[in-house]
Amino acid sequence: MSDATERLIDGLVADLAPVRPLPRMRSAFAVIVALWAGLLGALAWRQTTLTGGVAAVGWLMDRVYLVAFVALIVAALGGTVSALASGTPGRERLELGGLGAACSGLFAGAIVCVVGMLGGPGTAALVAGTREGMCLGESALLSLLPAGVILAFLVRGWAMRPWRAAGIALLASGALGASIVHFGCGFLEPGHVLLSHLSVPLVLVLLGLYPLGLLLARRTG
Amino acid sequence: MAADETRRSPDAYAETSDARFAEWMAAAQRGDGDAYRALLEALRPRIRALVGARVRDPAAAEDVVQNALLSIHRGRASYRPERPFMPWMRAIVRNAIVDHFRDRARRGDREIPLDVELWADDDSGREVDDAVLPPELAAALAALPPAQREAVTLIQVEGLSVAEAALRAGVSAGALKVRAHRGYRAMRASLDGARIGGEWRSGALPGAGPGQGGRGTR
């Protein structure tokens, strides 16, 4: 063995301090899903109260809107699994599998929306700005909580590919937030769904990748 | 853990089972230094074998082994004792190898040639302080921001490997390399600015007063 490696091992042993092992991935996943379900439940309860006992989920009859909801859930859950796995060495298959599910979900949702736009009245019904901005903003706000949990997990863990981990975490958080907003929005226009709900994960990745990636890269890079 | 158990020859660890590694790592997470030393000593030949299969140059392979050991150290909290140890360790080693090849691919663009002969004659390899550096080089070093100066000093003056220097500086190996690279670039610019027609310009560098700048005429 080289002297340098011997010295390094001595240094590592001297630098040893007790650490708490990373929480189980499934525990972190359960916390995130519970948060998401809690927010979704609170929204459903509020809507039920406002509408005098009838939940405003008339969109269940709209196929495009329903498919987009399922797509967002797949993206949210797949992305969350992938993001958590990216902070744990040896879980690369899970990471790539989750990422594949998330991207496939968003892609399928986008395709369905585009097909819906082509078959419907087009984008004439889109109210430029106001409603889209509101949904985007609310989604981003609702993404903060799950993003915080995922980030805490990644910071305690060991994200070997910090930039990829940051991107997946943002994608998952965006999909989690957007799925809640999608549940309560009820504006069935496919163009709106595409621009203001399905695009949220992408927007968050674009906005947050640099700071979050830098934060993780400083730790592991 | 008994101390003699931690000082076995590397070959003695060849048959160490995954469960034993997991046990040692769990003890290391609780702060048991003897178990941690046993773990690192036992891992070393395995890591070297994994790295040696991909990295032919022995010196580069040793650097990769060290970076992998540092990553294992820094990321030890990410291991959960109920899970198998080897996949966790292999993933970290694989990542260190990938980083090595990425680094090598980028090196052509990033390498900053300094006049290496200017560095102190450090046959001893370490324990060299700024006092033995040529004044112009010492001045260029002193002009660096503290983080860059620390990185350059640890690697070039004290002769530590990147992993050792990163451990000492409390940063990742990648971050230390970036700091050192920025330091080399700044020193290069500083040294170039201090030379006119191959001669050192007197007092061109902070701390290099008249009569101190005549040595580096290369």
The number of folded domains in chain A is 1
The nearest CA of chain B is from the CA of A74 a distance in Å of 26
Q: What is the ipTM of this complex?
A: 0.83
Q: By C-alpha distance, which of B150, B152, B160, B159 is closest to B187? A: B152
Q: Are A63 and A111 in contact (CB under 8 A)?
A: no
pLDDT of A158 above 60: yes
Residues B192/B198/B201/B207 CA torsion (nearest 10 deg):
60
Assess whether B30 and B72 both reside in one domain: yes
pLDDT at residue number B177? 82
Residue A133 pLDDT class (50, 70, 90 cuts) = confident
Question: According to the model, what pLDDT value does residue B2 have?
Answer: 45
Per-residue pLDDT, B155: 86
Question: Does residue B215 belong to any structural domain of this protein?
Answer: no
Residue A109 covered by a domain: yes
Residue A65 belongs to some domain of the structure: yes
Residue B213 lies in a domain: no
Residue A46 contacts by C-beta under 8 Å, 6 or more apart in sequence? none
Give domain status of residue B216, yes or no.
Answer: no
Both structure tokens of A163: 């930039």
| A20: closest CA of chain B, how far (Å) | 6
A49-74 average pLDDT score: 79
Q: Which residues of chain B have pLDDT under 70?
A: 1-16, 107-132, 194-218
Q: Do A4 and B62 touch (CB under 8 A)?
A: yes
Report residue B76 as tokens. 């030890």
Does one domain contain both B88 and B152? no
Of B81, B108, B135, the residue that ends a domain is B108
Segment A99-113 shows an average pLDDT of 95
CATH code of the domain covering residue B125: 1.10.10.10
**Position A16 in a domain:** no
User: Of the candidates B153, B205, B158, B160, which has an alpha carbon nearest to the alpha carbon of residue B179?
Assistant: B153
Question: With pLDDT > 90 as the criterion, what percentage of chain A qualifies?
Answer: 61
Number of compact structural domains in chain B: 2
B2 in a structural domain? no
Instruction: For residue B85, tell me if it sits in a domain.
Output: yes
pLDDT (0 to 100) of residue B198: 53
Whether B23 is in a domain gets the answer: yes
Q: How far apart are CA B118 and CA B126, in angstroms?
A: 16
| Residues B147, B74 within the same domain | no
Tokens standing for residue A72: 């967002």
Asked, for residue B4, whether it belongs to a domain, the answer is: no
Give the residue from B100, B8, B19, B113 showing the smallest Cα distance to B62.
B100
Report the alpha-carbon distance of residue A218 to residue B11 in Å, rounded.
Answer: 36
Size of interface A-B (CB pairs under 8 A): 115
Looking at the fold, whether B124 and B51 belong to one and the same domain comes out as no
* Closest residue in A to B166 (Cα–Cα): A8
Q: What are phi and psi of B134, to 5 degrees?
A: -55, 145
At a CB cut-off of 8 Å and minimum separation 6, what does A89 contact? Answer: A158, A160, B75, B78, B79, B88, B89, B91, B92, B95
Nearest to B133 by CA among B144, B123, B141, B124: B141
Q: Give the single-character DSSP code of A193.
A: I
Instruction: Select from B18, B4, B119, B100 the least CA-distant residue to B57.
Output: B100
DSSP readout, A1-19? --HHHHHHHHHHHHT----
Closest Cβ opposite residue A89 in set B69, B88, B175? B88
Closest CA to A197 of A104, A101, A70: A70
Question: Which residues of A are less than 8 Å from B91 in CB distance?
Answer: 89-92, 160
Helix orientation angle between A200-220 and A92-119, rounded to the nearest 10 degrees: 160
Domain assignment of residue A19, yes or no: no
Tokens representing residue A55 in the block: 């939940």
Q: Which two tokens stand for residue B151?
A: 């990185």
Question: Is the CB of A156 less than 8 angstroms away from the CB of B78?
Answer: yes
Dihedral over alpha carbons A171, A173, A177, A179 (to 10 degrees): 60
Structure token digits, residue B114: 């300094």
Q: What is the pLDDT of residue B51?
A: 93
According to the model, what pLDDT value does residue B174 have? Answer: 78
Q: Using the beta-carbon criterion (under 8 Å), do B174 and A217 form an inter-chain contact?
A: yes
Range of the domain at B24: 9-108
pLDDT digits (tens, 9 = 90+) for B109-157: 555 555 545 554 444 444 445 456 777 888 888 888 888 888 888 888 8
My answer on whether B14 and B101 are in the same domain is yes
Secondary structure element (H or E) that encloses residue B71, with its range: helix B58-74
Q: Is residue A123 one of the residues assigned to a domain?
A: yes
DSSP class of residue B83? Answer: S
Predicted confidence at residue B143, as pLDDT, reads: 87
Q: Please give the full DSSP string across B143-211, using - where no structure is assigned.
A: TS-HHHHHHHIIIIIS---HHHHHHHHTS-HHHHHHHHHHHHHHHHHHHHHTEETTEEPTT-STT--TT
Give the end of a domain, one of B108, B142, B175.
B108
Nearest by CB to A20, from B77, B87, B175: name it.
B77
Domain-located, residue A7:
no
- Domain assignment of residue A201, given as a range: 25-220
Q: Is B203 exposed, middle or buried (0-12, 13-18, 19+ CB in 10 A)?
A: middle
Residue B210 forms part of a structural domain = no
Residue written as tokens 């109920």? B82
- Do the domain assignments include residue A99? yes
Residues B77 and B132 in one domain: no
Residues B84 and B47 in one domain: yes
Q: Are both B138 and B101 inside the same structural domain?
A: no
Residue B30 is predicted with a pLDDT of 94
pLDDT for A179 equals 94
Confidence of residue A204 (pLDDT cuts 50, 70, 90): very high
Q: A22: which chain B residues are within 8 Å (Cβ-Cβ)?
A: 77-80
Cα–Cα distance, B8 to B41 (Å, whole number): 8
Query: Are residues B43 and B93 located together in one domain of the fold?
Result: yes
Q: Does residue A18 form part of some domain? A: no
